[in-house]
């Protein structure tokens, strides 16, 4: 047994996490003592914390170090995801600022919970042990349950929280059962050790108990990344939660889920890759098809974005299926890039929904956006960029993300794997279907005439988020090279 006390060097590697933890605790501590007129202190602390953590994360270097008895592995891989989470955290704090003030819900606890959820996600991306993954996931989930129910005077918000909690607990139970089965079979929860154990004893791969354990993990993580049929909670929760929380949930926990899934299945269950690639392939087809078809029938924009986020998860799972083939590097890096690309366009789109809304949690319908281009040409233009990116049209980052995921699938298909050829065709058809509902919203904005039914809730911070997202969408759509090579570097530690 290694020394139980971590060294100072090990602790320093966790600087970003510690900064986030401390700022969350500090927010919680000072909240009761802050005068109402200084209430912006807490979000300022949250922003400062996430920026500091971001800077600290950049300075950690490119090495790969396993610390805390194999629980945590700090590497480019964890840093890539942590940067996504910190950017999301930063943008969501800015989104929430005026929104919460206008809804009279601006309390420090919100920002503290946001910080704790971010901490959970960061640890999830860095964990290399089933137990630490589970603990981090629970830290994230519990914070999110609270955030979903944050508008406690609105019944929709309460409903969302309780639904999320109950279904989440079920999924966690399955996952924990799977973990315990794996521990029973292999005698360890460390992913490398699990992978080595299964790899050494060749017959174990066909052990039914191990198969059972794998499927339970599929379900547990499938819930977090909202893969069909474990997605049922998502539309209700996304619609009922405060919109800023929805923006956060649609990006952060999903990316964290994918970070953990990639590690658990690729490193821990690598010997079963033939099995899980097929399962994930089927799940991805179900997920994107269901998400797109149901998004097509929605009248509420928020619900449409909720279903479309299911569809996006489906595309991302495609990257996972490629990770189980000979082109594993391409599959994993395309998945990482997709997560990055999804960040800006989705947060930006939700920010537009916050800027232009009815009161509290009433749903904005597609028709509310009629003629927006005449009333607010600049905002309509930014929304157009974000929608084009969500559709996956150049020169936006959404195009590049889809391009690399689909490209990886097609490369596998070109090696003579007809199954992947079929996957590619289904994916492209799905992308075409998604164009209909995104462009329909665009058509409402630009072509139809309509009266002002939404209230303008302009604030600098909101506009900054929208402009920032739109610019990032364009910038990384035109210059994807740096992020792509970073993603390729990052997955090397898993290979």
Residues forming the site for other proteins (CB under 8 A): 162-163, 166-167, 170-171, 174, 206, 208, 211-212, 215-216, 218-219, 223, 228-230, 232-233, 235-236, 275, 279, 290, 293-294, 296-297, 330, 373, 377-378, 380-381, 384, 403-404, 407, 411, 433, 435-437, 439-440, 442-443, 446-447, 458, 460, 463-464, 467, 471, 479-481, 484-485
How far is the C-alpha of 89 from the C-alpha of 95, rounded, in Å?
Answer: 10
Residue 108's contacts (CB-CB under 8 Å, 6 or more residues apart) are 27, 28, 30, 31, 34, 42
* Residue 27 CB, nearest approach to other proteins (Å): 25
Of the pair 13, 216, the CB lying nearest other proteins is at 216
* Residue 48 CB, nearest approach to other proteins (Å): 19
* Residue 484 CB, nearest approach to other proteins (Å): 6
**Residue showing tokens 């009333």:** 375
Cα–Cα nearest to 189, from 201, 177, 179: 179
Residue 371's contacts (CB-CB under 8 Å, 6 or more residues apart) are 445, 448, 449, 450, 451
Dihedral pair phi/psi, residue 306, rounded to 5°: -65, -50
CA distances from 306 to 71, 166, 262, 348, 454 (A): 34, 19, 23, 14, 20
Of the pair 255, 310, the CB lying nearest other proteins is at 310
Rg (CA), the chain: 22
* Residue 144 CB, nearest approach to other proteins (Å): 16
Of the pair 10, 207, the CB lying nearest other proteins is at 207
Q: Three-state SS for 42?
A: helix
- By DSSP bridging, strand 455-456 and strand 356-357 are antiparallel
Of the pair 116, 280, the CB lying nearest other proteins is at 280
How far is the C-alpha of 465 from the C-alpha of 335, rounded, in Å?
Answer: 24
How far is the C-alpha of 399 from the C-alpha of 395, rounded, in Å?
Answer: 7
Cα–Cα nearest to 312, from 251, 264, 395: 251
* Residue 343 CB, nearest approach to other proteins (Å): 20
Of the pair 11, 326, the CB lying nearest other proteins is at 326
Of the pair 112, 412, the CB lying nearest other proteins is at 412
How many CB atoms sit inside 10 A of residue 187's CB?
Answer: 10
Report how far Cα 115 is from the mean position of its chain's Cα atoms: 15
Of the pair 53, 402, the CB lying nearest other proteins is at 402
* Residue 157 CB, nearest approach to other proteins (Å): 15
* Residue 209 CB, nearest approach to other proteins (Å): 11
* Residue 8 CB, nearest approach to other proteins (Å): 39
Of the pair 51, 293, the CB lying nearest other proteins is at 293
How far is the C-alpha of 369 from the C-alpha of 210, rounded, in Å?
Answer: 51
């Amino acid at each position: 047994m290694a020394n139980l006390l971590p060294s100072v060097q090990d602790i320093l590697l966790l600087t970003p996490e510690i900064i986030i933890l401390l700022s969350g605790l500090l927010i919680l501590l000072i909240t009761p003592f802050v005068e109402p007129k200084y209430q912006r202190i807490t979000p300022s602390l949250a922003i400062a914390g996430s920026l500091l953590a971001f800077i600290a994360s950049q300075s950690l270097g490119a090495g790969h170090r396993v610390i805390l008895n194999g629980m945590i592995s700090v590497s480019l891989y964890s840093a890539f995801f942590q940067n996504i989470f910190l950017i999301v955290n930063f943008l969501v704090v800015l989104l929430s600022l005026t929104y919460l003030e206008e809804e009279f819900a601006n309390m420090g606890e919100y920002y503290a919970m946001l910080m704790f959820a971010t901490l959970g996600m960061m640890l999830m991306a860095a964990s290399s042990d089933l137990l630490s993954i589970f603990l981090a996931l629970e830290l994230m989930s519990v914070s999110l349950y609270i955030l979903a129910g944050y508008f406690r005077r609105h019944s929709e918000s309460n409903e969302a929280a309780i639904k999320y909690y109950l279904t989440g607990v079920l999924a966690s139970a399955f996952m924990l059962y799977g973990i315990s089965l794996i521990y029973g079979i292999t005698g360890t929860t460390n992913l490398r050790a699990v992978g080595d154990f299964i790899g050494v004893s060749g017959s174990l791969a066909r052990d039914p108990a191990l198969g059972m354990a794998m499927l339970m993990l599929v379900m547990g993580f499938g819930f977090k990344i909202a893969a069909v049929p474990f997605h049922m909670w998502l539309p209700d929760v996304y619609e009922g939660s405060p919109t800023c929380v929805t923006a956060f949930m649609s990006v952060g926990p999903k990316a964290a889920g994918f970070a953990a899934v990639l590690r658990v299945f690729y490193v821990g269950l690598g010997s079963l890759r033939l099995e899980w690639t097929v399962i994930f392939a089927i799940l991805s087809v179900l997920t994107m098809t269901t998400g797109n078809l149901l998004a097509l029938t929605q009248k509420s924009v928020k619900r449409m974005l909720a279903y479309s986020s299911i569809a996006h998860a489906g595309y991302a799972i495609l990257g996972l299926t490629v990770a189980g083939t000979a082109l594993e590097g391409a599959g994993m890096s395309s998945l990482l890039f997709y997560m990055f690309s999804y960040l800006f366009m989705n947060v930006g789109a939700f920010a537009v929904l916050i800027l232009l809304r009815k009161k509290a949690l009433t749903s904005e319908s597609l028709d509310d956006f009629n003629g927006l281009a005449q009333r607010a040409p600049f905002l309509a233009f930014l929304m157009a960029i974000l929608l084009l990116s969500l559709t996956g049209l150049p020169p936006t980052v959404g195009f590049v993300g889809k391009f690399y995921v689909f490209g990886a699938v097609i490369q596998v298909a070109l090696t003579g794997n007809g199954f992947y050829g079929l996957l590619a065709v289904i994916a492209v058809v799905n992308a075409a279907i998604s164009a209909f509902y995104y462009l329909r919203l665009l058509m409402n904005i630009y072509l139809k005439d309509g009266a002002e039914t939404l209230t303008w809730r302009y604030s600098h911070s909101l506009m900054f988020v929208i402009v920032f997202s739109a610019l990032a969408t364009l910038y990384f759509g035109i210059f994807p090279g740096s992020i792509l090579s970073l993603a390729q570097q990052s997955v090397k530690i898993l290979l």
